């Protein structure tokens, strides 16, 4: 069993635990490489038919290629797809730096979705290597009724004996990809032949390494026009993955504030 | 950054030890010295420190949370990737503070190995002891001990030797055998990645080299089959059973037994997406499979191969870490999660509470927060209760009080097996199979060499014993000569006496295996029934080796002249000529001495032992 086999088997086991123990349940899908790989893992876990709704927290600010990709996969993979519209920017905390307001809109959109659908579990494709506060996450991570993450009082999580009971009104964030790295996702995408948004591949010396809203995500200089070249690039770069995400870089603790408030 | 070797499974290493002994600092330094920090990270943190009027610390790299920087203490476990040309290592930082013990345990429970940090000046602290004990409880099998802050003791070898000696005894008593001891200074990077010129008396590995030298985590693909059923996925007309293979291999056509119902079932096919012609799945895989006929199983059941069902019982001995706020007492009742099962259990008795300073048992019948206790837990229903030594993945549990986790622990052994006689209550050893194996580098085993007279069994057995012992293993040959001189001196050579002789040898060999020794039994043992009894006595530890040779080579060798005498009619019922010999149906290994030399046979056996029984022999001779 190699690295990717091991990661795949762990993630599938987590998805199955979530499905058999937490209800109602949905998965967030942003059409990025991570949540698309996660969707593929869910298809593998349940033999082709994803048994829970797949939800986009829609700010209407994704790049057009991203929406095209969504329409294609929704059709081809026969997904139970739901669009959750996020509240407008004018409704969020105006003391937040401008680049973090999209994230605040998504946080509010998710809160509304949970209140509306009474979800007890939200499957999210975050990884521990992306960002320092995500590195502290549990696989089954409880959230308060308002979506807040009590990072200082996280319950223990021992081996793979997961704890899935939360008080009424609380919910769980379920994180099947925590152990994966960015390059693992690419190697897996390549091995399994998982479709990707073409913006990840370089055109005219530029490519998107991480896809966010169009007004707050910038491409990086790169000549990696195939997945092989992306893998090679990642094995040698010392630039962090989210360097192109301006929201992470505005103040030292911007991301931590977002996450403890309920962001993914 | 170094290009990673890529496809090897991750090695997860947790850093543990007393608070302020330098865990986060060591991790920060390892990342820096291996070129794994993002560009500008150190500069950024230095700038932040300056803005706050603080002195830069390597631990800031990890303690990224705002509150942690303010308090300069690690609150929760975190992890970070270290790529090296050899393998991908995930470093898990765990808090040392007593009040954050639950987070330390969370970090460690996902680790394949540990780095135990000890401050050279302060020496072994309370948390050093506690963390070492928890490594044993959690089941982290490999430990590198880093004796940090050698600068504070003038890089003196005497101080290092003193701490090392103290720790060796301490760890030995907990059943932990360290892979290496490294004197170092994390802050200055001495013996972290590069060797330190100021400790010329030390010629061992650096911390990085000691980590990279750790063998990969052991997966029991060859062991008894175990799958905890996660559930059943209905698709079209198919009902697909899903779960992760804990050990062994499941194949289409296999006969299964389901616990605790003891029903049998047969595997019709393995299910995959996208569809494939896969017909088997091994330890570690998340599998789906379809059974022949109606399904009588559900989430929480344990699937095993028909030959190795899990023990079933209502009571068991457990070791646990008590995390509840109040004390734990006899009569307390909890929901227990283990495998994919939930059961209601009650504390029936306290065996001991392990006291941190002395590590001695105490007569308490209560455990307090953060105590480790051995207790008897009882359930109203019959449960599948594999022990942590046999199937760790199914023997680890959490106890729940309402929605709170109040304990984590392991099943040491099932008591009062339903199948066994009610009057026999086995007395548990204080030392388990895992501890013995860790000390010797191998499991206990019975290598049962069967075959016709003069096929070469004894010669092979003696040479195998010699090579195993030189390699550091505990091994001993049982053969006709040493058994009949004592154990079976009341027996003759009638068919009945020969059967009884084999039964005794099988039982004795099983005891040898239980004691951690590799028993090499060299007996003709012509009947399958007799060998099956020996297999039943030793269970998973039994390995049948069929030594065969064609008739002419046997008669040519005939070291004891038996063939000659039998030909002359002087021995009756001699297996080689007149008696029956039932060939093994599914031996674990076949040696053919007609075509293989003695050396080739013993080489094949040594390879078999290294693959299935031994994982850390001192040397292969």
pLDDT tens-digit readout, B148-177 = 999 999 999 999 999 999 998 888 877 787
Least CB-CB distance to B403: which of A2, A133, A166? A166
Highest mean pLDDT among A8-12, B2-6, B308-312, B614-618: A8-12
CA distance A139 to A178: 7
Q: pLDDT class for B248, splitting at 50, 70, 90?
A: very high
pTM of the complete model: 0.75
Q: Tell me, what DSSP letter sits at residue B194?
A: B
Note whether residue B431 is domain-resident: no
Q: pLDDT class for B420, splitting at 50, 70, 90?
A: very low
β-pairing, B333-338 with B255-259? unpaired
Does B104 lie in the same domain as B164? yes
Query: How many structural domains are present in chain B?
Result: 4
The end-to-end CA distance of chain B, in Å, is 39
Does B263 lie in the same domain as B399? no
CA distance B477 to B480: 10
User: pLDDT at position B563, please?
Assistant: 74
Does B129 lie in the same domain as B22? yes
Residue from B47, B85, B273 whose CB has the most chain A CBs within 10 Å, to mutate: B273
Least CB-CB distance to A161: which of B83, B323, B397? B397
Residue B23 has pLDDT above 80, yes or no: yes
**Interchain CB distance below 8 Å, B88 and A3:** yes
Residue where one domain finishes, among candidates B279, B305, B331: B305
Does B163 lie in the same domain as B37? yes
Is residue B216 less than 8 Å (CB to CB) from chain A? Answer: no
User: pLDDT at position B245, please?
Assistant: 96
User: pLDDT at position B77, please?
Assistant: 67
State the average pLDDT over residues B138-148.
Answer: 90
Check if the beta carbon of residue A100 is closer than 8 Å to that of residue A254: yes
Q: How many other CB atoms sit within 10 Å of the CB of residue B414?
A: 23
Q: Yes or no: is domain A3-180 CATH 3.40.50.620?
A: yes
**Interchain CB distance below 8 Å, A256 and B231:** no
Does B339 lie in the same domain as B262? no
Check if the beta carbon of residue B37 is closer than 8 Å to that of residue B45: no
Q: What is the mean pLDDT of chain B?
A: 85
Note whether residue B1 is domain-resident: no
Q: Which residues of A touch B299 (CB under 8 A)?
A: 20
Q: pLDDT class for B620, splitting at 50, 70, 90?
A: very low
Q: What percent of chain B clears pLDDT 90, i.e. is strictly above it?
A: 44
Cite the DSSP H helix spans in chain A.
3-21, 33-45, 64-76, 101-117, 182-192, 227-236, 254-260
Residue A53 has pLDDT above 50, yes or no: yes
Residue B419 has pLDDT above 50, yes or no: no
Residue where one domain finishes, among candidates B305, B323, B342: B305
**Interchain CB distance below 8 Å, A133 and B244:** no
The angle formed by the CA atoms of residues B415, B416 and B422, to the nearest 5 degrees, is 160
User: pLDDT at position B577, please?
Assistant: 61
The residues, any chain, with a CB within 8 Å of residue B321's CB and separated by 6 or more, are B101, B105, B134, B137, B370, B371, B372, B407, B408, B409
User: pLDDT at position B529, please?
Assistant: 86
Question: Whose CA is closest to A158, among B95, B215, B323?
Answer: B323
Residue where one domain finishes, among candidates B151, B177, B212: B212
Q: Is A152 helix (H, G, I), strand (E, B) or coil?
A: helix
β-pairing, B226-235 with B302-305? antiparallel
CATH number, domain of B475, equals 3.40.50.300
Is B53 exposed, middle or buried, given 0-12, 13-18 or 19+ CB atoms closer than 10 A?
Answer: exposed
**Interchain CB distance below 8 Å, A129 and B109:** no
**Interchain CB distance below 8 Å, B8 and A2:** yes
159-218 of A, contacting B, C-beta below 8 A: 159-161, 163, 165-167, 179, 181, 183, 187
Does B266 lie in the same domain as B136? no
Note whether residue B403 is domain-resident: yes
**Interchain CB distance below 8 Å, A156 and B323:** yes
Cite the DSSP H helix spans in A77-199.
101-117, 182-192
Residue A131 has pLDDT above 80, yes or no: no
Q: Which has more pLDDT, B40 or A221?
A: A221
For A182, the closest chain B residue by CA position comes to B81
Q: Tell me, what DSSP letter sits at residue B217?
A: P
Question: Whose CA is closest to A31, among A194, A169, A173, A160?
Answer: A194
Q: In the A/B pair of chains, how many CB contacts fall below 8 A?
A: 158
Is residue B430 less than 8 Å (CB to CB) from chain A? Answer: no
User: pLDDT at position B63, please?
Assistant: 61
CA distance A87 to A59: 8
Q: What is the mean pLDDT of chain A?
A: 90
Render pLDDT for B438-467 as a digit per residue (tens, 0 to 9): 677 788 899 999 998 888 898 999 999 999
CA distance B270 to B283: 15
Note whether residue B498 is domain-resident: yes
Residue from B5, B6, B401 whose CB has the most chain A CBs within 10 Å, to mutate: B6
Render pLDDT for A95-107 as a digit per residue (tens, 0 to 9): 877 778 888 899 9
Residue B333 has pLDDT above 50, yes or no: yes
Domain encompassing residue B133: 11-212
Does B518 lie in the same domain as B380? no
Question: Whose CA is closest to B94, among B80, B78, B110?
Answer: B78
Q: Secondary structure of chain A: what % helix, strand, coil (to 5)? A: 45, 15, 45
- What are the C-alpha distances in Å from A152 to residues A7, A171, B16? 28, 17, 19
């Amino acid at each position: 069993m190699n690295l990717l086999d091991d990661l795949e088997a762990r993630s599938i086991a987590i998805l199955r635990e979530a499905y058999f123990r937490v209800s109602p349940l949905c998965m967030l899908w942003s059409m990025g490489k991570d949540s698309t790989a996660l969707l593929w893992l869910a298809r593998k876990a349940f033999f082709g038919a994803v048994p829970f709704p797949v939800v986009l927290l829609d700010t209407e600010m994704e790049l057009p290629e991203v929406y095209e990709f969504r329409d294609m996969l929704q059709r081809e993979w026969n997904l139970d797809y739901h669009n959750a519209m996020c509240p407008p920017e004018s409704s969020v905390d105006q003391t937040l730096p401008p680049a973090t307001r999209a994230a605040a809109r998504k946080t509010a959109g998710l809160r509304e979705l949970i209140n509306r659908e009474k979800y007890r579990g939200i499957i999210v494709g975050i990884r521990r290597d992306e960002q320092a506060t995500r590195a502290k996450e549990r696989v089954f991570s409880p959230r308060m009724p308002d979506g807040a993450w009590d990072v200082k009082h996280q319950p223990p999580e021992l081996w793979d004996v997961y704890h899935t009971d939360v008080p009424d009104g609380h919910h769980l964030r379920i994180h099947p990809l925590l152990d994966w790295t960015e390059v693992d996702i690419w190697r897996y995408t390549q091995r399994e032949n998982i479709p990707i948004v073409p913006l990840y591949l370089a055109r005219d010396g530029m490519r998107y390494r991480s896809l966010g809203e169009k007004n707050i995500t910038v491409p990086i200089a790169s000549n990696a026009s195939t997945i092989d070249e992306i893998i090679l690039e990642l094995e040698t770069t010392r630039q962090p993955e989210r360097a192109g995400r301006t929201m992470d870089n505005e103040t030292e603790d911007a991301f931590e504030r977002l996450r403890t408030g309920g962001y993914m | 950054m170094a290009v990673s070797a890529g496809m090897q499974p991750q090695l997860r290493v947790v850093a543990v030890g007393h608070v302020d002994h330098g865990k986060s600092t060591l991790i920060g330094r390892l990342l820096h010295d291996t070129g794994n920090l993002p560009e500008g990270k150190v500069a950024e943190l230095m700038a932040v420190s300056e803005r706050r009027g603080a002195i830069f610390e390597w631990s800031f790299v990890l303690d990224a949370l705002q509150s942690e920087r303010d308090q300069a203490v690690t609150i929760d476990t975190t992890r970070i990737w270290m790529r090296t040309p050899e393998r991908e290592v995930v470093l898990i930082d765990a808090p040392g503070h007593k009040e954050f013990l639950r987070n330390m345990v969370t970090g460690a429970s996902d680790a394949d190995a540990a780095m135990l940090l000890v401050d050279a000046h302060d020496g072994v602290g309370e948390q050093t002891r506690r963390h070492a004990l928890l490594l044993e409880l959690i089941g982290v099998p490999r430990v590198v001990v880093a004796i940090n802050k050698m600068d504070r003791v003038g890089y003196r070898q005497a101080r290092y030797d003193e701490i090392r000696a103290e720790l060796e005894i301490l760890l030995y008593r907990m059943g932990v055998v360290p892979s290496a001891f490294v004197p170092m200074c994390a802050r200055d990077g001495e013996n972290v990645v590069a060797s330190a010129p100021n400790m010329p008396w030390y010629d061992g590995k650096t911390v990085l080299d000691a980590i990279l030298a750790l063998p990969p985590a052991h997966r029991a693909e060859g062991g008894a089959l175990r799958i905890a059923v996660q559930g059943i996925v209905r698709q079209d007309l198919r009902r697909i059973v899903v779960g992760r293979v804990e050990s062994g291999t499941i194949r289409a056509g296999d006969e299964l037994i389901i616990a605790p119902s003891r029903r049998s079932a047969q595997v019709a096919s393995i299910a995959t997406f996208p569809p494939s012609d896969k017909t088997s799945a091994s330890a570690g895989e998340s599998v789906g499979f379809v059974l022949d006929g109606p399904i009588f199983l559900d989430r929480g059941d344990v699937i095993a191969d028909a030959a190795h069902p899990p023990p079933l019982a209502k009571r068991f001995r457990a070791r646990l870490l008590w995390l509840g706020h109040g004390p734990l007492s006899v009569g307390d009742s909890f929901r227990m999660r283990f495998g994919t099962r939930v059961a209601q259990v009650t504390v029936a008795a306290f065996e001991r509470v392990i006291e941190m300073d002395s590590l001695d048992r105490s007569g308490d019948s209560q455990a307090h927060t953060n105590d480790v206790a051995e207790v008897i837990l009882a359930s109203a229903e019959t449960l599948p209760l594999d022990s942590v030594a046999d199937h760790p993945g199914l023997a680890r549990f959490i106890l729940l009080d309402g929605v709170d986790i109040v304990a984590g622990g392991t099943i040491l052994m099932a008591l009062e097996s339903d199948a066994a006689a009610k009057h026999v209550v086995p007395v548990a050893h204080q030392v388990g199979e895992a501890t013995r194996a860790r000390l010797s580098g191998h499991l206990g085993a019975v290598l049962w060499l069967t075959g016709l007279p003069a096929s070469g069994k004894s010669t092979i057995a003696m040479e195998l014993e010699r090579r195993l012992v030189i390699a550091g293993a505990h091994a001993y040959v049982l053969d006709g000569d040493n058994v009949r001189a004592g154990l079976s001196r009341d027996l003759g050579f009638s068919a009945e006496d020969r059967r009884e002789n084999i039964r005794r040898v099988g039982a004795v060999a099983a005891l040898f295996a239980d004691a951690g020794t590799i028993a090499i039994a060299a007996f003709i043992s012509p009947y399958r029934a007799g060998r099956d009894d020996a297999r039943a006595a030793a269970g998973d530890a039994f390995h049948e080796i069929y030594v065969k040779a064609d008739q002419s080579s046997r008669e040519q060798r005939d070291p004891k002249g038996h063939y000659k005498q039998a030909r002359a009619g002087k021995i009756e019922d001699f297996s080689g000529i007149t008696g029956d010999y039932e060939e093994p149906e599914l031996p674990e290994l076949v040696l053919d001495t007609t075509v293989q030399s003695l050396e080739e046979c013993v080489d094949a056996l040594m390879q078999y032992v290294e693959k299935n029984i031994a994982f850390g022999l001192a040397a292969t001779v």
